[in-house]
Amino acid sequence: MSPILRMPTVEASPEGRAVASDAKGHTMRLLIIEDDRDAADYLVKALREVGHVADHAADGEEGLALASHETYDVLIVDRMLPKRDGLSVIGALRTKGVTVPALILSALGAVDDRVKGLRAGGDDYLAKPYSFAELLARIEVLARRHGGREETVYRVGDLELDRLSHRVTRGKEEIVLQPREFRLLEYLMKHAGQVVTRTMLLENVWDYHFDPQTNVIDVHVSRLRSKIDKGFAQPLLHTVRGAGYMIRDGAR
């Protein structure tokens, strides 16, 4: 049974295309450890289309060997693999001191499987079937997180967020945010220039991994948008159709 894969929707909007090809301007080197040939081919092709380079390993042993000897930005690891289980591949890499971020892909989506995956050393977990936009957003965030960006003050255009004093200003104006709105903006700004999906927001800002049924996140984001963008000529908080949101200084 091959998982339902969706066409990348990033190119569905001009903004999405821009993000994929040139917003960060750097090419990632990725390793896909996945035994389903079709799924892997699709992923390699889709990642190549958005400007990344992807290798493919068809089983756990091969994946472990490749990941140990080559340098990758992010590993995409299926959980159920021939020869060696995905979690054990990650465990073996961590034991060897290889800290490359790993995204676990699994048909097992339930909450405790996710917890198990993260406990085994995975950095993120995505249940199949996933959307390519979701996968792309997550690996880009993973690659960046590995580089580390923990400034005290985040700046995007004339928007400033001070993580210590919890003050947000745009131009000369102070913007008053609710605590949750602050955390939402903080997460978006931490990943400025990157697509952040709704699920990522729910997981990182609210710390929930469940399906919220309705797009509640959209309402929160549009509230935030009305506070930071309303009355300003240059919008900073953008909707990336079919994927999520991004904070970006459009003027640059």
Partner 1 sequence: MTALAKLLKTTAFRLTLLYLLVMALFAAFLLGYFALNTRRLMNEQIVRTVDNEIEELTGQYEAAGLRRLVHIVESRANQPGSSLYLVTTPTGAGVAGNVASLEPGVIERTGWVETSYRRLEEPDGGEHIAVVKVTALPGGFRLLVGRDLAEREHMFRIVATAGRWSVAIVLVLGLVGGVFVSQRVLRRIDAMTDKARLIMAGDLSGRLPVGGSGDELDRLATSLNTMLERIETLLRGLKEVTDNVAHDLKTPLTRLRNLSEAALRHATSEADYRQALEAVIEESDGLIRTFESLLMIARAESGEPRADMVVFDAAAIARDVGELYEPLAEEKGLALRVEAAETVAVRANRELIGQALANLIDNAIKYAAEAEPAAARLPVPAAAEAVSADVGAGPAGPVPAGAGEIEPAAGTGARLLLDAPPMFPAAPADVVVSAAVVGDRVELAVADRGPGIAPEDRARVLERFVRLEKSRSKPGSGLGLSLASAIARLHGGELRLEDNAPGLRVVLSLPRPAPA
Q: What is the 3-state secondary structure (H, E, C) of 134-161?
A: HHHHHHHHHHHHHHCCCCCEEEECCEEE
Is-contact 55 70, C-beta < 8 A? yes
If the CB atoms of residues 65 and 219 are measured against partner 1, the closer one turns out to be 219
* Cβ at position 228, least distance to partner 1 in Å: 15
If the CB atoms of residues 150 and 211 are measured against partner 1, the closer one turns out to be 211
Establish if 220 lies at the interface with partner 1 (CB under 8 A).
yes
Nearest to residue 200, comparing CAs of 156, 149, 140?
A: 140
If the CB atoms of residues 112 and 150 are measured against partner 1, the closer one turns out to be 112
> What DSSP string describes 45-63?
HHHHHTT-EEEEESSHHHH
The residue range among 3-11, 60-68, 80-88, 139-147 that interacts with partner 1, by the rule CB under 8 A, is 3-11
Q: Which of residues 101-120 bind partner 1 (CB under 8 A)?
A: 109-112, 115
* Cβ at position 176, least distance to partner 1 in Å: 16
Q: Which of residues 171-190 bind partner 1 (CB under 8 A)?
A: 180
Q: Which of 9, 88, 204, 239 binds partner 1 (CB under 8 A)?
A: 9
Helices (H), the chain: 14-18, 37-49, 60-69, 86-95, 111-119, 132-147, 179-190, 198-205, 216-228
Q: How do 153-156 and 159-162 pair as beta strands?
A: antiparallel
If the CB atoms of residues 5 and 30 are measured against partner 1, the closer one turns out to be 5
* Cβ at position 199, least distance to partner 1 in Å: 12
CA distances from residue 85 to 11, 149, 212 in whole angstroms, order as listed? 34, 32, 31
Total residues found in the chain within this entry: 252
Give CA–CA dist 110/127, Å, rounded. Answer: 8
Q: Which of residues 189-208 bind partner 1 (CB under 8 A)?
A: 206, 208
Establish if 131 lies at the interface with partner 1 (CB under 8 A).
yes
* Cβ at position 8, least distance to partner 1 in Å: 11
If the CB atoms of residues 78 and 134 are measured against partner 1, the closer one turns out to be 134
The residue range among 37-45, 164-172, 209-217, 232-240 that interacts with partner 1, by the rule CB under 8 A, is 209-217
* Cβ at position 37, least distance to partner 1 in Å: 22
Is-contact 8 50, C-beta < 8 A? yes
17: DSSP letter: H
Binding residue count for partner 1, defined by CB under 8 A: 27
Binding site for partner 1 (CB under 8 A): 4, 6-7, 9, 12, 109-112, 115, 127, 129, 131, 180, 206, 208-214, 216, 219-220, 223, 242
